[in-house]
Structure 1
Amino acid sequence: MRRSIATVSLSGTLEEKLSAAAEVGFDGVEIFENDLIASPLAPREIRALAGELGLTIDLYQPFRDFEGVDDTRLAANLRRAEAKFALMVELGVDTLLVCSNATPSAIGDDARSATQLRALAETAEPYGVRVAYEALAWGSHVSTYGHSWRIVEAADHPSLGVCLDSFHILSRDDDPAGIRDIPAEKIFFLQLADAPRMDMNVLQWSRHHRCFPGQGGFDLTAFTDHVIAAGYRGPLSLEVFNDVFRASDPDRTAADALRSLSALEDAVARTREAPEQGGGAASPDAGNASVRLKRLPDLVPAEGLGFVEVAADDPASARTRAVLSALGFAHTRDHRSKPVELWEHGRTRILLNSADPRLGHTWSGDAAVTALGVDVADPEQVAARAERLSAPALSRRRDPSEARLRAVAAPDGTAVFLCPPGSAGGADWTEDFSAPAVDHRREGAPTPITGIDHIGLHQPFDHFDEASLFYQALFGLSPSENTDLASPDGLVRSRVLTRPGPEPGPRIALNVSVLGRGPQADAAGGAQHIALACDDIVAVARAMAAAGEPPIRVSDNYYDDLAARTGLSPARCELMRGLGLLYDSDGAGEFLHLYSPLLDGRLFFEVVQRIDGYEGYGAVNTHVRMAAHRAERRAEHRAERGA
């Protein structure tokens, strides 16, 4: 199906918005009236520009507060509409979006509204324009799609139909199944938007918090399937009001938008094909050849993390080596052509990169996670899927004899390497690490580390939802609900992506400073960390202390409160106090974790022990960690000033 986007979804001038939409591959646009009014180009020039860019103009919007008015206001509204119809002819667009009246003076009389909308359609007909009537979720009297359809049906004019907007329907928890009963020829337009579930005024929710499909809490796959089952064959169009998108690079936002539509269209196609693959009941027209939904290459689930790469320049690299050694890692080998060290603990691998700029990674100079090695069964298919999802491939300097690892760039610049089967067992990319290791405290004391539990990646303020969709669409990871964490430097929002099922695959926690306060707030949010799993955290803590790299100190107040609010024995609380361990439980299992000091003000390690199926991440303790790291950072700054 054709793909379109409303210009209100992008930042910039109208000309910049059209260029961004065309560059990533959209077929058409909805022109938002404010964008046209602010443009120095005449309507015919905008039409010509869109044509040069390969875009159709699919909708002009919005026309507000037309129906449910007295006769005097109706006459004025029809004059206003006729001017818009003439403009639309110049613009080359044949469909006008008319919103249900949302003014306090609107008259709640369906017969009157039907008569007035018929008059509007009759006025539009000579101009070759259609009128798509949309029920606003906050409309004074018409706020549901079923109500808007009844009025359109009563008006009974070929130039009048409905516009279906997923936000207006799903934000009211309205059942979209009834869409299937609307005749196909009467569904003039479809607008798609997702949104996080929020308990707030629906108008404010709509104007500020919409997002692209897959980034919120609505089931847009089922919604879109209902519309297609009704016979709709027009464009899939995005209309997203979002404060972040309005301030972001329009090219990035357009790419994110198209990725969301690609993933949605693929999901709908697979839903409709499910019976052929042994699934459930098909949509009534699943075999209709006129339904042309674009499929992506099949999803290849992420199986785990083959490695995590840390970039650290001196002195952070020396501190990173010391902490890795204290955690029981050994520096085993060096890359034969790149300044990268391989640190191993059993089959758990950390790469330490001395930040050679030729590797093509985005790196700020602080110690940070710069690359992930994701284990997948078919890297070539994942790479093909990534290309269709507007995820750019990373070019890499590689000697001919080295492993040919495909890599793509995540929205925050993290390099995501696609590791083939067998690499975890020592084949493929690990063979590139053939140089003898330079001795950097090579052997750590034995510790019961068992693997990588999860990764915490800080996201730039305007990439949070984009990154979430990237990992969902590319690897089949599912997002948790957002968790807001109170940092001493401001609110941090966290969302964890995992693979559903008994084997979770990689766990990736995305973190963002809610107010986007810049690098200092970002670091204070503690967004870059590697969490290592173990089966005896007491032994790990003792080994770290013995190696001179003990976990961060946790306040005595924490343990006093822990003793008061839990049934833990005094002896166990004192053991945790002495070792810097934190505790959580979810009613079934328990969670013990500790944190390393900050490395160069940004990166830290976490060690976790999950007991009896605990599935969380110890969020109840995050503010304690943030406060401890902040105190550590301030102490270092005071020492530097004193020096």
Structure 2
Amino acid sequence: MPFALASCSIGLPKHTLHQKIEAIRHAGFDGIELSFPDLQSYANLHFGRDIAEDDYDTLCEAGQAVRTLVERHNLKIFVLQPFSNFEGWPEGSKKREDAFARARGWIRIMEAVGTDMLQVGSSDSEGIATDPERVAADLRELADMLAEKGFKLAYENWCWSTHAPKWSDVWNIVQKVDRPNVGLCLDTFQSAGGEWGDPTTESGRIETPAITEMELSVRYRASLKELAETVPADKIFFFQISDAYKVQPPLDDKPDPESGLRPRGRWSHDYRPLPYDGGYLPIEQFAKAVLDTGFKGWFSVEVFDGKFEEKFGQDLNKYAQKAMDSCKELLSKAKEKETQ
């Protein structure tokens, strides 16, 4: 099973993409998720000026250099991410026009960096369609654009999404899209954090008058059983791993006044450590469900740890090795659960 680390998940803003790649390779990873902000930062440094996010000619030129850099370190860019807020905009709207223009630009970047997969996160925008058929129609159109280049689309549930916060929601949409080049990106944080965890409660889990802790666990196990029994392994295009800190004091149960992010969105951006590094979510159970489908694809670390500097200082090699160790430990423990 190939291991990868997302470029956005290692280091601090001052660290270069080259430094990150060297640490990732030193730890023995097979590939990276290339994060668009890292490509843009590389382009800024490469050309000595600020490169706009829609300056696709320049970003593609930088992307070719990134491809060479990654290949020189015997790594593979297996996906470009995160393509967000794409689907569901009203027909004829400027937002929809901009979304498809951005898609065409990112496809050009995919060619430049040498990857064949685009990760699309389930949109968290207000004002978009919530009808799965309408969302599927947009993703089908994007899938056909990607298919012209031999590319594929991995659709991920973001647990604060306005229309598809659960794995079952994105799986329903992927089935409606009905294209061979469209599958899932599953993520331990997005599912365990969405279906079991809650950053707005003292316990760190979902609390409602209608559900006890035991009932919550039963419901979560039922969801994982359904995943293992209904999702074909070849429709899981890759698997991301991370955990979450229990937030103390809990976050307010309302959008952040500055960023506009809902609580789980804020949780995702700053409170996601490596597995076995301070988190508390039931991620081993989720990993077991994914493995029970027969999945053998990319096993990738995507974390956003606001305590990175406190824990690892400037030592990217130490962090990358810790990430590799967490991959192996989670994989091992999930397999142990399979035999119990």
> 1: CA distance between counterparts of 2:30 and 2:107?
23
Whether 1:238 and 2:304 are equivalent positions in the alignment is: no
- Give per-residue Cα distances to partners, 1:492-518, cap 9 Å, x unaligned: xxxxxxxxxxxxxxxxxxxxxxxxxxx
Whether 1:101 and 2:101 are equivalent positions in the alignment is: no
TM-score (norm 1): 0.41
2:231 aligned to which of 158, 164, 182: 182
The corresponding residue for 1:46 is 66
Contact 2:237–2:298 under 8 Å retained in 1:
no
Whether 1:209 and 2:271 are equivalent positions in the alignment is: yes
Superposed counterparts of 1:244-323, under 5 Å: 244-245=307-308, 248-272=314-338, 274=339, 280=340
Q: Give the letter aligned to residue 234 of structure 1.
A: G
- Give per-residue Cα distances to partners, 1:152-175, cap 9 Å, x unaligned: 101101111111111111112153
The corresponding residue for 2:282 is 219
> 2: CA distance between counterparts of 1:220 and 1:86?
35
Judging by fraction of residues, say which structure has more strand: 1
Q: Deviation of residue 117 (structure 1)?
A: 0.5
> 2: CA distance between counterparts of 1:153 and 1:190?
18
Superposed counterparts of 1:581-592, under 5 Å: none
Contact 1:196–1:209 under 8 Å retained in 2:
yes
- Give per-residue Cα distances to partners, 1:586-605, cap 9 Å, x unaligned: xxxxxxxxxxxxxxxxxxxx
> 1: CA distance between counterparts of 2:307 and 2:296?
31
> 2: CA distance between counterparts of 1:144 and 1:27?
29
The corresponding residue for 2:256 is none
Q: Give the letter aligned to residue 2 of structure 2.
A: R
5+ residue gaps, structure 2, are 47-61, 197-219, 252-262
Superposed counterparts of 1:435-514, under 5 Å: none
> 2: CA distance between counterparts of 1:80 and 1:9?
23
Give the greater-gyration-radius structure (CA): 1
Superposed counterparts of 1:72-111, under 5 Å: 72=92, 73-111=95-133
Q: Deviation of residue 270 (structure 1)?
A: 2.8
> 2: CA distance between counterparts of 1:150 and 1:208?
29
Whether 1:147 and 2:169 are equivalent positions in the alignment is: yes
> 1: CA distance between counterparts of 2:294 and 2:181?
18
Q: Give the letter aligned to residue 9 of structure 1.
A: S
> 2: CA distance between counterparts of 1:67 and 1:230?
28
The corresponding residue for 1:137 is 159
Q: Give the letter aligned to residue 221 of structure 1.
A: E
The corresponding residue for 1:64 is 84
Superposed counterparts of 1:374-385, under 5 Å: none
> 1: CA distance between counterparts of 2:78 and 2:227?
21
2:145 aligned to which of 106, 111, 123: 123
Judging by fraction of residues, say which structure has more helix: 2
> 1: CA distance between counterparts of 2:73 and 2:164?
38
Q: Deviation of residue 248 (structure 1)?
A: 4.0
Contact 1:86–1:127 under 8 Å retained in 2:
no
Higher relative contact order (CA 8 A, sep 6+): 2
5+ residue gaps, structure 1, are 275-279, 281-643
Whether 1:229 and 2:292 are equivalent positions in the alignment is: yes
TM-score (norm 2): 0.77
Contact 1:163–1:187 under 8 Å retained in 2:
yes
Q: Give the letter aligned to residue 176 of structure 1.
A: L
The corresponding residue for 1:193 is 242
Query: Aligned to 1:60, what secondary structure does the other structure show?
Result: strand
Q: Deviation of residue 196 (structure 1)?
A: 2.4
The corresponding residue for 1:22 is 25
The corresponding residue for 2:7 is 7
